[in-house]
Amino acid sequence: MKSFNFNTTTKILFGKNKAEEMIPEIKSRGNSLLLAYGGGSIKKNGVYDKVVSLLKDNNIKFKELSGIEPNPRISSVREGVKICRENNLDFILAVGGGSVVDACKAIAAGVSYDGDPWDFMMMKAKVKNPLPIGVVLTLAATGTEMNGNAVISNEETLQKRPMGAPSLCPAFSVMDPVYTYSVNKWHTAAGATDIISHVFEFYFTPDKDAFVTDGVAEAIMKTCIEYGRKAIDSPEDYEARANLMWAGTLAINGLLSLGKTGGGDWATHMIEHEISAIYDLTHGAGLAIVFPAWMQYVLDEDNAWKFAKMARNVFGVKIEDDIEAAKKGIEEVKKYFKSLDMPLSLKDVDIDDQYLEEMGEKCTLFGAVGVMRKLEAKDVTAILKAAL
Ligand code: NZQ
Ligand code: ZN
């Protein structure tokens, strides 16, 4: 097991009726904030009314930024930066799913940066002194509520790229599973797919000696399998929503890379981002298509043991030969995505081969991607072709 430092700065407020507890957290950081949200789900499910009455009752001034898109756009980030500057706001409260939270992180970084916030995504600028942000999470998926990452789309260049800094970790995240009851079947399924995919990204590394970290990863995978379909069928099943919500956080708050090499593989995420950049596809749906294709592409004699380990420990595969067990495990992953009614091929979401070469080039803009196997542009295109 490799040595590591682990430090997380986000206070988690998890459970029913926890929103009240964010007020002292906000007040200790300022008295005026940007209240940012998406296309209106929080107005339908009552979360907006709850948050606004809490802010008003506690004399916290706020300006609103609404309409942040799924696959959040740089134009929304620029607008948020403008509102924060014009009103001299000292805090950002993100109320929504990963898209809203990610946009808020980029806004937080953009306020203290003189140039265009897209520079962060193009690695031309580093995050310095961002505004503090808080989160009221309404969708279990990305884990952004307890990490310093954000993924932003540029609608002009059709790029979707990550940025990140430890200082972008939210100060707090309110995680009330009841707020996720209104998430529809598609986004619940895409969320469960995203969560298990984050675990895959951390799990599939060449390390042979991080038993405990891999064991935690396997438990989170099993949680997605146990509760993904249940949350779709019974949207108000508290245990299902709560377990998925916490699984989503644990999957990508740093825990699953401890004692292992680097920070995970992430090639599949990079490839998926190229799909959603061009086609505005739901992130989790793109992962359901790409992950099995990536697994099949990178599987070889040297790494089969790891795929076999997942097959045996998570899916109960009883095959002795590693390669055969690994192949069966990949089939089980596909079956799981199918059981959530996720698409399994690009054809299923009406995507053809028009941009596959371009996606390969854009995905490897800053060099080869992946750890399990380093992928060049031609490999990315081959994986996408296999996913057609
Ligand atoms: O916009 P509104 O009206 O709020 O509706 C949203 C949106 O249409 C809706 N929704 C959210 N909470 C709801 C709800 N509908 C009903 N009831 C609720 N309680 O769900 C739709 C999707 O929301 P979105 O925020 O886009 O989903 P998600 O949380 O999956 O976020 C996806 C984005 O996060 C990025 C993805 O690439 C994508 O852009 N990711 C961010 C990561 C990170 N920061 O660490 C890691 C991930 O791998 C991922 O790349
Ligand atoms: Zn993801």
**pLDDT tens-place string over residues 104-150:** 999 999 999 999 999 999 999 999 999 999 999 999 999 999 999 99
pLDDT of 261 reads: 83
For CATH 1.20.1090.10, the residue range(s) in the chain are: 184-386
Q: Determine the pLDDT at residue 183.
A: 98
For residue 262, name the pLDDT band (cuts at 50, 70, 90): confident
Residue nearest atom 46 in ligand 1 by C-alpha distance: 142
Of 99, 159, 245, the one to substitute when testing ligand 1's pocket (max ligand atoms within 8 A of C-beta) is: 99
Q: Which ligand is nearest to the CA of 191?
A: 1
pLDDT at 8 over 90: no
The rounded radius of gyration (Å) of the Cα atoms in the chain is 20
pLDDT tops 90 at residue 372 = yes
Which residue is it, tokens 């009314």? Answer: 49
Lining residues, ligand 1, CB within 6 Å: 38-42, 45, 70-71, 96-100, 102, 138-139, 141-144, 147, 149-151, 179-180, 182-183, 187, 191, 194, 252, 269, 283
- Count CA within 13 A, CB hemisphere, residue 185: 9
Give the closest ligand to the alpha carbon of residue 146: 1
Measure 68 CA to ligand 1 centroid, in angstroms.
10
Cα–Cα distance between 254 and 261 in angstroms, integer? 13
Mean pLDDT of 199-228: 96
Tokens of 176: 């009330």
pLDDT recorded at residue 44: 97
Model confidence, pTM: 0.98
Ligand 2 midpoint to CA 34 (Å): 26
Q: What mean pLDDT comes out for the span 207-236?
A: 97
Write down the CATH number for the domain with range 184-386. 1.20.1090.10
Contact partners, residue 117, CB within 8 Å, separation at least 6 = 74, 77, 78, 81, 106, 107, 109, 110, 152
Residue 115 tokens read as 């140039």
- The span from the CA of 76 to the CA of 312, in Å, is 45
Predicted confidence (pLDDT) at residue 14 exceeds the cutoff of 90: yes
Yes or no: is domain 11-179 CATH 3.40.50.1970?
Answer: yes
Residue 37 CA: which ligand 1 atom is closest?
4
* CATH 3.40.50.1970-classified regions of the chain: 11-179
Question: Which DSSP letter does residue 259 get?
Answer: T
Closest by CA to 335, choosing from 356, 313, 314, is 314
Q: Which distant-in-sequence residues (6+ apart) come within 8 Å of 376 by Cβ?
A: 364, 368
| Alpha carbons 244 and 249: distance in angstroms, whole number | 9
Look at residues 30, 38, 51, 62 and name the one whose alpha carbon lies nearest to residue 174.
51
